[in-house]
C-alpha cells in the first residue's frame, strides 16, 4: 500500500513551521550521468589525498587519469555548468581554464591512449580503473627516441671506425656478446666510445653528456649515437638500454683492450684452457677469521682444482690451512697468465696484507688473497666476458668497481 501525502498532512506540517519542497526527479542524459560519476571519483580522490590529482610520471596511474579527466571537465563549459552545484571543493575554478585547447579536442579514446591505457568497451562490464594495458610515458619516449634518427652530417669521420670494428670482429680481436638482463649489464657500462649492434645496425656511442637524475631517481645521461647506415640519434642512456634489452638480436661489442677472454661455450675446435677458482680459507689466523666471508683467494689453473688444493694445509700459498671452493669459471682458448694478472690488477687495492711462516719458519707473504665480496668477483668475471673490464678497479671503501682515474 502506498501512503499519499494529503492536505491534512500539509496543514499539520505548516502548523509545525516545516516547509515542504517537492523534489523533481533528476532527468540527466547518460552522458551527463557519466560526467557526474567521473567528477565524483575525482572528489573522492581529493578527500582521500588532500589535493587535486596531478600530472607526472612519478604519479600513480589513476591519479594521472583523474588529472586528465579534471583538465577536460575544466575546459568544457557545459561540464562546468552541470557540475557547478556539486563542486564544493572548488575544483572547477576559472583560474584553471588555461592552455586546455588540446585536451578539449580529445575524445575519450584519445585521452586513454595518452595515458597508455587500452580501455575495453563498457559493454563487457569493465571499469575505467581496470587497466588492460599500461605503456609508460618513458617507454613511449624511448621507442620514439630510437625511431627518430636523422642523417649524420659528419658521418665521414665515423665511417673508418665502423670499418675498423667490423675488421676486428672478423679477425677475432673483438667479440659481439648477447645482452642478457641477468648478466649484470648495467647502465654505467654504456660508455662513450662503445659499440653495440641494434636493429641490425652497428651503433657507436660518440658522445655521453653529464649525469642527470631521471624522474624515478635513477641516474641517466644524454647520448649521441651514430649508426653504421649514416644516421644518428640524440637519446637518453636509459632509452638505449631499454632498446637493447627489447631487441633479441642486440649485441655488445667487446673492447679490444680486454680481448675475447671467454667463449660463450666450448665450441667445436676449442681447447679447454683451465679455470678461475675462488677459495675461502679455514685458517684460524685472527685477520682471516674476522673477515672470513670476504677473504678470497683468486687464482687460475690449467689442472684440476680439487687436486690443486688437496695439500693446502701444507702450502703457505694457501695460508697453511684447508680451503673450500666457493666458485669456478671455465676458460677456453685463453692465456691463463694474462687473465690472472688482469684480475689481480683490478683487485690490487684490496690485496690481503698478511705474513705467515712456512713449514721451515721462513716468512711468506701470499699475493693471491683479497678482501673482496664474492658478488664483486662475479661482476668482474662478467665484465671480462663482455669485454668491458678495461679501466675498472676495485674500490674497497664502497665495495664496488669504479673507473680508474
Nearest Cα neighbor of 231 from 123, 148, 332, 174 is 148
Whether 18 shows a pLDDT value over 60: the answer reads no
Helix (H/G/I), strand (E/B), else coil: 56: coil
Q: In this predicted structure, what is the pLDDT of residue 325? A: 92
Q: In this predicted structure, what is the pLDDT of residue 48? A: 83
Answer yes or no: is 7 within a domain. Answer: no
Tell me, yes or no, whether 102 and 40 share the same domain: yes
- Rounded Cα distance between 229 and 232, Å, is 9
Answer yes or no: is 259 within a domain. Answer: no
Share of the chain above pLDDT 70, in %: 71
Tell me, yes or no, whether 314 and 286 share the same domain: yes
* Residue 51 phi, psi (nearest 5): -155, 160
Tell me, yes or no, whether 218 and 323 share the same domain: no
- With cut-offs at 50, 70 and 90, classify the pLDDT of residue 202: very high
Tell me, yes or no, whether 120 and 145 share the same domain: no
Tell me, yes or no, whether 225 and 111 share the same domain: no
Whether 357 shows a pLDDT value over 90: the answer reads no
Tell me, yes or no, whether 331 and 399 share the same domain: yes
Find out whether 398 and 266 touch, Cβ atoms under 8 Å. no
Find the range with the poorest average confidence among 77-91, 133-147, 322-336.
Answer: 133-147
Nearest Cα neighbor of 275 from 300, 310, 240 is 300
User: Which residues face 235 on adjacent strands?
Assistant: 223
Answer yes or no: is 20 within a domain. Answer: no
Condensed to tens digits (0 to 9), the pLDDT of residues 295-319 reads 999 998 888 899 989 999 888 889 9
pTM for this entry: 0.42
* Residue 227 phi, psi (nearest 5): -110, 155
The position carrying cell 610520471 is 57
Tell me, yes or no, whether 80 and 158 share the same domain: no
- With cut-offs at 50, 70 and 90, classify the pLDDT of residue 100: very low
Among the candidates 205, 222, 253, a domain finishes at 253
Find out whether 378 and 390 touch, Cβ atoms under 8 Å. no
Q: In this predicted structure, what is the pLDDT of residue 309? A: 92
Domain total in the chain:
3
Q: Highest mean pLDDT: which of 28-37, 254-263, 295-304, 325-334?
A: 295-304
Q: In this predicted structure, what is the pLDDT of residue 16? A: 59
Tell me, yes or no, whether 231 and 306 share the same domain: no
Answer yes or no: is 10 within a domain. Answer: no
Find the range with the poorest average confidence among 284-288, 308-312, 332-336.
Answer: 332-336
Condensed to tens digits (0 to 9), the pLDDT of residues 29-61 reads 888 888 898 898 899 888 888 888 888 766 777
Q: What is the mean pLDDT of residues 240-266?
A: 70
Tell me, yes or no, whether 248 and 288 share the same domain: no
The position carrying cell 669521420 is 157
Whether 390 shows a pLDDT value over 90: the answer reads no
Tell me, yes or no, whether 238 and 210 share the same domain: yes
Answer yes or no: is 366 within a domain. Answer: yes
Q: Highest mean pLDDT: which of 168-172, 347-351, 354-358?
A: 347-351
> How big is the CA angle at 264 (ends 370 and 387), to the nearest 5 degrees?
55
Q: What is the mean pLDDT of residues 11-22?
A: 57
Among the candidates 57, 89, 124, a domain finishes at 124
Among the candidates 124, 149, 164, a domain finishes at 124
Q: What is the mean pLDDT of residues 79-90?
A: 88
Q: Highest mean pLDDT: which of 94-98, 352-356, 388-392?
A: 352-356
Answer yes or no: is 248 within a domain. Answer: yes
Neighbours of 136 (CB within 10 A): 12
Tell me, yes or no, whether 248 and 332 share the same domain: no
Answer yes or no: is 230 within a domain. Answer: yes
DSSP state of 25: P
Q: How many helices (H) and strands (E) does the chain have?
A: 13, 15
Share of the chain above pLDDT 90, in %: 18
Tell me, yes or no, whether 277 and 369 share the same domain: yes
Whether 226 shows a pLDDT value over 90: the answer reads yes
Whether 255 shows a pLDDT value over 80: the answer reads no
Q: What is the mean pLDDT of residues 195-218?
A: 85
Condensed to tens digits (0 to 9), the pLDDT of residues 105-158 reads 555 555 555 444 444 444 444 444 444 444 455 555 555 555 578 899 999 999
Average pLDDT for the chain? 77
Answer yes or no: is 202 within a domain. Answer: yes
Find out whether 198 and 145 touch, Cβ atoms under 8 Å. no
Residue 1 is placed in which grid cell? 500500500
User: Which residues face 227 on adjacent strands?
Assistant: 203
- With cut-offs at 50, 70 and 90, classify the pLDDT of residue 97: very low
Whether 104 shows a pLDDT value over 60: the answer reads no
For residue 302, give its domain range.
272-403
- With cut-offs at 50, 70 and 90, classify the pLDDT of residue 98: very low
Residue 111 makes CB contacts below 8 A (sequence gap 6+) with 68, 69, 72, 103
Amino acid at each position: 500500500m502506498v501512503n499519499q501525502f494529503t492536505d491534512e498532512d500539509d496543514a499539520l506540517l505548516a502548523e509545525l513551521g516545516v516547509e515542504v519542497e517537492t523534489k523533481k526527479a533528476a532527468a540527466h542524459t547518460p552522458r551527463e550521468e557519466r560526467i557526474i560519476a567521473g567528477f565524483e571519483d575525482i572528489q573522492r580522490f581529493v578527500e582521500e589525498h588532500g589535493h587535486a590529482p596531478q600530472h607526472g610520471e612519478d604519479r600513480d596511474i589513476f591519479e594521472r587519469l583523474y588529472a586528465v579527466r579534471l583538465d577536460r571537465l575544466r575546459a568544457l563549459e557545459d561540464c562546468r555548468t552541470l557540475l557547478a552545484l556539486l563542486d564544493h571543493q572548488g575544483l572547477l575554478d576559472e583560474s584553471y581554464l588555461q592552455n586546455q585547447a588540446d585536451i578539449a579536442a580529445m575524445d575519450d579514446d584519445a585521452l586513454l591512449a595518452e595515458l597508455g591505457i587500452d580501455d575495453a568497451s563498457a559493454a563487457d562490464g569493465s571499469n575505467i580503473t581496470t587497466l588492460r594495458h599500461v605503456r609508460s610515458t618513458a617507454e613511449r619516449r624511448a621507442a620514439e627516441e630510437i625511431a627518430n634518427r636523422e642523417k649524420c652530417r659528419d658521418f665521414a669521420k665515423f665511417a673508418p671506425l665502423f670499418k675498423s670494428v667490423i675488421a676486428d670482429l672478423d679477425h677475432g680481436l673483438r667479440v659481439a656478446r648477447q645482452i642478457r638482463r641477468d648478466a649484470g649489464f648495467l647502465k654505467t657500462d654504456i660508455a662513450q666510445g662503445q659499440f653495440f649492434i641494434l636493429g641490425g645496425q652497428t651503433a657507436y656511442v660518440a658522445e655521453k653528456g653529464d649525469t642527470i637524475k631521471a624522474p624515478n631517481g635513477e641516474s641517466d645521461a644524454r647520448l649521441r649515437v651514430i649508426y653504421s647506415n649514416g644516421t644518428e640519434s640524440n637519446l637518453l642512456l636509459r632509452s638505449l638500454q631499454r632498446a637493447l634489452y627489447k631487441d633479441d638480436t642486440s649485441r655488445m661489442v667487446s673492447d679490444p683492450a680486454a680481448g675475447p677472454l671467454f667463449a660463450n661455450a666450448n665450441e667445436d675446435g676449442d681447447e679447454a684452457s683451465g679455470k678461475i677458482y675462488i677459495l675461502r680459507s679455514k685458517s684460524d689466523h685472527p685477520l682471516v677469521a674476522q673477515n672470513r666471508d670476504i677473504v678470497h683467494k683468486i687464482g687460475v689453473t690449467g689442472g684440476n682444482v680439487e687436486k690443486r688444493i688437496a695439500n693446502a694445509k701444507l702450502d703457505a700459498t694457501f695460508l697453511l690451512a684447508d680451503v673450500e671452493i666457493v666458485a669456478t669459471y671455465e676458460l677456453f682458448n685463453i692465456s691463463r697468465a694474462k687473465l690472472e694478472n688482469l684480475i689481480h690488477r683490478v683487485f690490487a687495492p684490496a690485496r690481503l696484507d698478511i705474513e705467515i711462516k712456512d713449514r721451515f719458519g721462513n716468512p711468506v707473504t701470499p699475493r693471491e688473497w683479497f678482501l673482496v665480496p664474492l658478488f664483486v668477483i662475479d661482476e668482474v668475471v662478467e665484465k671480462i666476458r663482455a669485454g668491458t673490464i678495461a679501466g675498472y678497479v676495485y674500490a674497497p671503501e664502497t665495495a664496488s668497481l669504479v673507473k680508474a682515474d
